[in-house]
A and B are shown apart, each in its own frame.
Chain A
Amino acid sequence: MTDRTPPQGGTTDPAWDLLPAYALDAVDDLERRTVERLLAVDADARRALGQYREVAAALVPDVEPPVGLRDAVLDRLDATPAADRDPGARRTRRRWTVVGIAAAAVVAIAIPTGVAVHEAGERSRLEEQSRTVAAMLADPQATLVTGTISTGGEASVLVSGGRALFTGSGMPSAGQGKDYQLWRSSDGKTMLSVGIVHASADGSAAVLFDAPDDTVFAVTVEPAGGSKQPTSQPVVALTTSSAVSGSRA
């Protein structure tokens, strides 16, 4: 067979380098998205991932599940249609009990603009993200904060269960040689980079990421590729209401 995995010395595309860790679910959310962009367009990457996953599955032993579980699962099927029988009807069947920007956030995550989502793994990954976002939206403790971006457009952050979803809409281009960079902070002083925010052609962006105890989220315009620390004033800064220290037991 042809060896389609990257050469031992690594490749120029960082997403290729992340494939093995991705296959083990050992990447963060931003890296996940980076890899998924690669998978969406590169059949060789999909084949390589298939191999890595086959290996990963071989790491797993069969362990007999509890006896009662089979009946419990079969009972649940009675209440659960095989939703994918008609893939075209799938999204409309979802009952997102959400409104406004939150609904837009789900759509932004579920259907990245301009990305051809043909690959099964990519689709299921996106569904997984949708589920994560749906769970976040369903969380009564979730916090949603919105704000206006000073250079144009709207931004929001939804925080729930140690995760955060940043969404932007109507974002103008960051400018020649510039990128939007997202930051998080637990104290409003130390800013940790979440990564570059890639807005699509229609100015929308969505980034799902871990935010263990962060309460401040900000976007700055940085030289292309981003900076280690913010080098300019934020174009938008969002502070979640649970920012008051000690508000969480």
Chain B
Amino acid sequence: MTDAYPPVVQETVRVPTARTTDPEALAAALVACASGDRRAFERVYDGLAPAVYGAAVGVLRDRDHAAEVTQEVMVEVWQTAARFDAARGSARTWVVTLAHRRAVDRVRSEQSRRARDQRDLERNVAAADRDVVAEHVEQLFEAAAVRDCMGTLTDTQRDAVVRAYYGGRTYREVADDVGAALPTVKSRIRDGLLRLRDCLGVTA
């Protein structure tokens, strides 16, 4: 765990809030949000907004859109904190799940809006967009916890996972994009995730 700031001393001078990255502390803070604890929410924001923003920027590749999604998600976190169940997973995973879904929804509604407005142009743009996804995602992975585990995937597994998660594409669209059969793409995604799980030691 890395802290961006030195450990908290005491007293509240104008020292930046110490960023909590301890999973248990974040889970506790999230639980406290459910009873309306604003200070707890500030800890949640400081600890988890970067993950929310990271998920949004990864999918949307646009800082303004990502900031809007982050704002929506953090308000949603405050409103729906009672639904978080620490027994089912970490606080970080919970907020990232919310953020990713919202970002993907935004990508898809934007795609269908554009598709409706100017279908042919969109097709070309979409194809060009997808080519830069991989490159963009490479940079993200350098900072992600999964960095050292990506090497355990085959190229096709890695490609399928990246396109599905960061391309905002359904696995059917991924199959279209890479010219592979649906079951093949499903297997690549599943096997890729299982390898990452084993490498990361996820046992939740």
Contacts and interface: CB of A to CB of B under 8 A. Distances in A.
Interface of A: 1, 5-6, 8, 10, 17-21, 23-28, 31, 46, 50-66, 69-70, 72-74, 76-77, 80-85, 87, 120-121, 123-124, 127-128, 132, 161-163, 210, 212-213, 248-249
Contact of B84 (A52, A72, A120): A120
B80 A59 contact: no
A74 B81 CA distance: 15
B24 interface: no
Contact of B113 (A5, A64, A82, A162): A162
Contact of A60 (B54, B113, B119): B54
Contacts of A54: 89-90, 93, 197, 200, 202, 204
B170 A28 contact: yes
B26 interface: no
Interface string B89-101: 1101100111011
Given A24-B161, A54-B89, A81-B36, 18 more contacts: A21-B171, A27-B170, A51-B203, A52-B193, A56-B193, A58-B145, A59-B144, A59-B166, A61-B54, A63-B54, A65-B67, A73-B49, A74-B45, A77-B38, A82-B34, A85-B35, A162-B111, A213-B119
Contact of A248 (B105, B117, B161, B202): B117
Contacts of A74: 38, 41-42, 45
Interface in B163-185: 164-166, 168-172, 174, 183
Contacts of B190: 5-6, 17, 19-20
A111 to B, nearest CB: 16
Interface residues on B, range: 35 or more
Nearest to A63: B54
Contact of A65 (B49, B83, B164, B204): B49
A35 B109 CA distance: 22
B58 A70 contact: no
Nearest to A135: B109
Contact of B34 (A85, A132, A248): A85
A51 B141 CA distance: 19
Contacts of A210: 108, 112
A85 B171 contact: no
Top 5 A-B pairs, shortest CB-CB distance: A162-B112, A84-B82, A61-B143, A62-B50, A26-B164
**Best-buried of A8, A72, A120, A163 by chain B (most CB within 10 Å):** A120
Given A1-B203, A21-B164, A74-B42, A161 B113 contact: yes
B189 interface: yes
A84 B83 CA distance: 8
Given A51-B197, A213-B115, A82 B81 contact: yes
A132 B189 CA distance: 27
B51 interface: yes
A84 B81 contact: yes
Contact of B88 (A60, A120, A132, A162): A120
B33 interface: yes
B85 A120 contact: yes
A27 B145 CA distance: 25
Given A26-B174, A54-B89, A77 B100 contact: no
A26 B169 contact: yes
A77 B186 CA distance: 40
Given A66-B67, A161-B112, A161-B113, A51 B204 contact: yes
B49 A69 contact: yes
Nearest to A61: B143
Contact of A58 (B38, B41, B101, B200): B200
Interface string B126-166: 00000000000000111111100100000000000100111
8 contacts: A25-B100, A26-B164, A60-B58, A61-B142, A66-B63, A80-B75, A163-B109, A213-B119
